[in-house]
Amino acid sequence: MQPQASKPTEWREIDVIYDPETIAGRVRELGAEVTEYYDSGELLLLGTLKGSFMFMADLVRSIARAHQLEFIVAASYGKGVSSSGHVRLLYDPQAVFEGKHVLLIEDIVDSGATLNRLVRLLRTRDPLSLDICTLLHKHLAADLQLEPRFVGFDAPADFLVGYGLDYAERYRHLPFIGIMQEVDG
Ligand code: IMP
Ligand code: MG
């Protein structure tokens, strides 16, 4: 049979930039950094869903000190590849933040709109400290309220998918992170 000039497969549209081993190694290092940084006090990890679910699951297993975890849901992207700039809070946990070290866990910092909104909100809840740990940082945001203290990778400005990151809710399950290429057919 003649090979078909078919549409590219789901896999071929994505160029892998961080493979599973690279991610696992860096996440273990981040866990060690977090463990060392917080030498006393109550620690609360606050993950942003859905993007950080896989990162959070791996990170907490590398943090060798007691901590609690919660999730918060904010949405800034619609179905496209660029931020709408408008951040909606879809789920806000009822947990007490007062007197705790709160570490916000993000999948990726792009425009910074989501982080700025969350940082402003969390500061009103009197945490003992507030810091950010992001797996990926595009370094595009001009006016971040708070620079991430822990960064997994300095990421390219491309649109990335996998390891929690989606494009229109697809690709979150991929065990690697890749650049999503424009589909040409
Ligand atoms: P920001 O508000 O523009 O910084 O975007 C933050 C959120 O948008 C992240 O938590 C992601 O959910 C999503 N996002 C930003 N950049 C990307 C990307 O390259 N791929 C997939 N999702 C992204
Ligand atoms: Mg997200």
- The model's pLDDT over 5-35, given as tens digits with 9 standing for 90+, comes to 444 455 558 999 999 999 999 999 999 999 9
* Ligand number, closest to the Cα atom of 169: 1
Question: Mean pLDDT lowest for which of 34-38, 110-114, 152-156?
Answer: 110-114
**Closest atom of ligand 1 relative to the 107 alpha carbon:** 10
Distance set, CA 161 to CA 5, 10, 46, 109, 180 (Å): 25, 12, 22, 13, 6
Q: Say what the pLDDT of residue 167 is.
A: 92
Distance in Å, CA 39 to ligand 1 centroid: 31
**Closest atom of ligand 1 relative to the 87 alpha carbon:** 2
Residue 119's pLDDT band, with cuts at 50, 70 and 90, is: very high
Q: Whose CA is nearest to atom 22 of ligand 1?
A: 165
Which residues in 112-146 are b (16+ Cβ under 10 Å) and which e?
A: bbbbbbbbeebeeeebeebbbbbbbbbeebeebeb
Percent of the chain clearing pLDDT 90 (strictly above)? 77
Distance in Å, CA 3 to ligand 2 centroid: 39
* pLDDT score of 81 more than 50: yes
Candidates 49, 55, 83: which one to mutate for ligand 1, based on the most atoms within 8 Å of Cβ? 83
User: Which residues line the pocket of ligand 1, CB cutoff 6 A?
Assistant: 48, 51, 76-77, 83, 106-115, 159-161, 165
For the full predicted model, state whether its pTM sits above 0.75: yes
Q: 106 phi and psi, to 5 degrees?
A: -115, 150
- The model's pLDDT over 29-67, given as tens digits with 9 standing for 90+, comes to 999 999 999 999 999 999 999 999 999 999 999 999 999
* Ligand number, closest to the Cα atom of 168: 1
